[in-house]
Amino acid sequence: MNELLFFGHVSFMLASLFLALWQGRTALTALIALQTIFANLFVVKQMLFFGFEITCSDVYAIGGILTLNVLQEFFGKEAAQKAIKISFFSSLFFVAMAQIHLLYIASPSDQMHSAFAQIFSSTPRIVFSSIAVYWLVQQFDSRLFSWLQTKLSAFPFRLGLSLALSQVLDTVLFSFFGLYGLVTSLSSIILISLLTKWLAIAFSVPFSTLLKKVRNDRL
């Protein structure tokens, strides 16, 4: 069930990317910010995927970087850097607002505070590690994709290569900063998470050939 849902999740992410590209630069920037928040929030939930335990945030991590590359491809490096700053600010704002939300004293009839507290206050190390690593990965990917634009003419190939390499950095850094000492086998977590991300990338990249058509039709 999770496997089918995963590929459906990736497909919905791709459809959202096409729609955002149709709307333009602002929509792409908003999508990057949203996926950054989702990646940082949903990383605390785990699931079984082909018998292996992974987090539920991999699609958002890939989607955010994929959208960033599309933004840079069609609107330039300056637009991508501005989107990185906006997504980072959005994540910090979300974390701050979540902590303020927890400070409110719940009424005796409230049934939700304990759930919010478990999500927002039990894993500060994971959340802040995720935000910091994701920002670093966005910076790395933006510079790598810019360099690949001067070396490779084929958009799908440079897109796939940029995504694959950036996710190596994302997976390794987050595993060490966010999960070290919390899991029994860090190497297994890194390997399975990375393979899962590469699987999602392999599924997503072939559709990138349609992105230029969407953009050209919009113009």
Q: What is the pLDDT along the chain (219 residues), one digit of tens a residue?
A: 888 999 999 999 999 999 999 889 999 999 999 998 888 788 777 788 888 877 788 889 889 888 988 998 889 889 988 998 999 888 888 888 888 888 999 999 999 988 888 877 756 676 677 778 888 888 898 899 889 988 877 888 888 899 899 989 988 888 887 766 655 567 777 888 888 888 888 888 887 777 766 666 665
Backbone conformation region of residue 51, classed left if phi is above 0, alpha if psi is from -120 to 50, else beta? left
Q: What is the pLDDT of residue 183?
A: 58
Q: What is the pLDDT of residue 27?
A: 96
Q: What is the pLDDT of residue 119?
A: 78
CATH 1.10.730 holds for 2-218:
no
Q: Where are the alpha helices (DSSP H) in 76-208?
A: 77-103, 113-121, 124-151, 155-174, 186-204
State the pairing for strand pair 46-49/52-55: antiparallel
Residues facing 53 on adjacent strands: 48
Q: What is the pLDDT of residue 217?
A: 60
Backbone conformation region of residue 24, classed left if phi is above 0, alpha if psi is from -120 to 50, else beta? left
Q: What is the pLDDT of residue 151?
A: 83
How far apart (Å, rounded) are the C-alpha atoms in residues 207 and 216? 15
For the chain, the domains span 2-218
Read off the pTM: 0.84
Contact 129, 174 (CB under 8 A): yes
